[in-house]
Amino acid sequence: MKSFDAIVIGGGQAGPFLAARMVERGMKVALIERKFLGGTCVNAGCMPTKTLVASARAAYVARNSAVYGVNIPGEIAVDMKVVRARAETVTMNARNGLIGWFAGMDGMTVIYGHARFEDPKTVSVNGETLTAPRIFLNVGARPVIPDLPGINDIDYLTSTSIIHLDTLPRHLAVIGGSYIGLEFAQMYRRFGAEVSVIEHGPKLASREDEDISDAIADVLRSEGIDIHTGVSDIAFARSGDGITVATDSARIDASHVLIATGRKPNTDDLGLDAAGVITDKHGYITVDDTLATNVEGIWALGDCNGHGAFTHTSYNDFEIAAANLLDGADRKVSSRILAYALYIDPPLGRVGMTEKQARASGRKIMISTRPMSRVGRANERGETKGFMKVIADAETKKILGAAILGIEGDEVIHGIIDAMNAGTTYPALQWSVPIHPTVSELIPTLLGDLKPV
C-alpha cells in the first residue's frame, strides 16, 4: 500500500489546482485521472467548443461581409478538417501544458487509471492500493442518453463525440434545446448544415425568463434554424444513409443526430458505498457548505457535487477548499453568486436571479430593459439583436440579477457581476463614468431606467 498526504481523483478544473497547492505546502499528493488531464473543459467542453464557435463566426462574418462594404468573390467554403484540427490543437496545447506542469512538481504523482474506494481512506487503481487521510473527488459528468424509441438503432452524436467530426452534416437534428444543444445548433448552421432543434419543454433554455428564451429563439430562427418545442414523442429509425426523426408534430430527414439532453455525474463506478459517501437521487455527491461529504476526510469538487456545472464554479470549488484547508479561511459555497453564459452569437451573459425568481421571492423589485438596437456600439458594429435586462431590490437597492443577450454580453455582464459581489447598490453603479463607445456604457443608463413592478 502506498501512502500519501492527499489523493485527488479526477483531473478537471478543481482537483489538479488543489493538488498543486498542497504540493507547494510540502505534501505528497497522488492525482488519479481516468483519461485526460484537464477534464471536460479542456478536452470536450469550453476550449474545443468555443474554438469551433469562433470558426463558425468567421464563416458567418465572411458570408455577410458585403453589409460592411467588403466584397468577397465566390462561395464561402468551410474546411471541416481544418476546423477540427484547430480545435484539437487548442485542446492539446492546454492538456500538454498541464502534463508538463505536473511533471515538474516534486511530491506530485500522476496516475492514469480508474480509481475505486476500498474504504473511506483507501482507493485502488491499476491493481495498486493507495491511502491518504484526505481524498478529493473531482470526477466530473458525462452526457445523459435518454431511453427513446430507436435510439440504440442509430449512430448518434454527443457533445463529446461531435467535436471530432471532420465532415459537414447534411442535416443535423439536435435533441435538446438547452445551452449545449443551442451552441452546436448555431455553430453547425453557420458551417453550412441544415439544423433542426427538438425540445421537449415549451421553450428553449428553460432556466431563463420567457422574454430571454423567446429572443434566443428569434436569433436562431433568423439564421434558418428549424425549432420544435413542446415535443412529447420522439423516435428514431434508420432511413437509407440517413436517420428519420419522428415527433408528434414533425418528421425530419436527418443525416446526423446530436443528443444534448443534459449531463449526469461520473459517480456510479467509484465504489462510493465502500466509503459510505452519500449521493442524491441523481447521483450527485452530497456536500455541505465547505464541500465536505458526509464522510470525514472526503470532499467533492466540481460537476459531481451538483453545485454548478461550469468551469468557473469548479475552479471556485478549488478556491474554497484551498482557502479553508490551507489558509485558515471560512469560505462557503452559499456565498457564491452564480453567473454563466450561453455562447450563441450574440451571447447571453447571466448573473443572479431571473425575473421569475425575483418575483417569487416576495421582494419588492424593480426591472429595467433596453434593446440592443438602442446601444450605439451595437449599431456601429451592425449587431443589434437581443436586449439588456436588470432586476433590483427596491428596498435595499441591491442588484438581484441581470441578463445581457447581445453583442459582447458575456463580457459586459462582468460589470454587474463585480458590483453584486462587492455589494454595491445600483445608485452607486449608476454614477460610474464608463468608456464611450462601448456596450458596457449602457449599464448606468439601464440602471437609471429601473421601475417598480
CB proximity list for 238: less than 8 A, separation 6 or greater: 153, 154, 244
Mean pLDDT in consecutive groups of 10 residues from the start of the chain, 453 residues = 97 95 97 95 96 98 96 95 98 96 95 98 98 98 96 97 97 97 98 98 97 98 98 95 94 98 96 98 98 98 94 97 98 97 98 98 97 97 97 98 98 98 96 95 96 96
- Cα of first residue to Cα of last residue in the chain, in angstroms, is 64
pLDDT at residue 309, rounded to an integer: 86
The number of helices, as runs of H, and strands, as runs of E, in the chain is: 13, 24
Tell me the pTM: 0.96
| Contact status, residue 365 vs residue 358, Cβ threshold 8 Å | yes
The yes-or-no answer to whether 151-261 and 339-452 have a common fold is no
| Contact status, residue 187 vs residue 271, Cβ threshold 8 Å | no
Chain segment 334-347, per-residue pLDDT in tens: 999 999 999 999 99
Closest CA to 345 of 180, 172, 186: 186
pLDDT at residue 249, rounded to an integer: 87
Indicate the angle between helix axes 15-24 and 80-103, nearest 10 degrees. 30
Task: Calculate the alpha carbon distances from 169 to 152, 185, 210, 243, 416 in Å.
Answer: 20, 11, 31, 12, 39
Where are the domains positioned within the chain? 2-142+264-335, 151-261, 339-452
pLDDT at residue 119, rounded to an integer: 98
* Fold assignment, 151-261: FAD/NAD(P)-binding domain (3.50.50)
Q: What CA–CA distance (Å, rounded) separates 245 from 258?
A: 11
What are the residues facing 251 on neighbouring strands? 246
Q: What CA–CA distance (Å, rounded) separates 266 from 285?
A: 10
* Fold assignment, 339-452: Enolase-like; domain 1 (3.30.390)
* Secondary-structure class of domain 2-142+264-335 per CATH: alpha beta
Q: What CA–CA distance (Å, rounded) separates 93 from 87?
A: 10
Closest CA to 108 of 181, 189, 20: 20
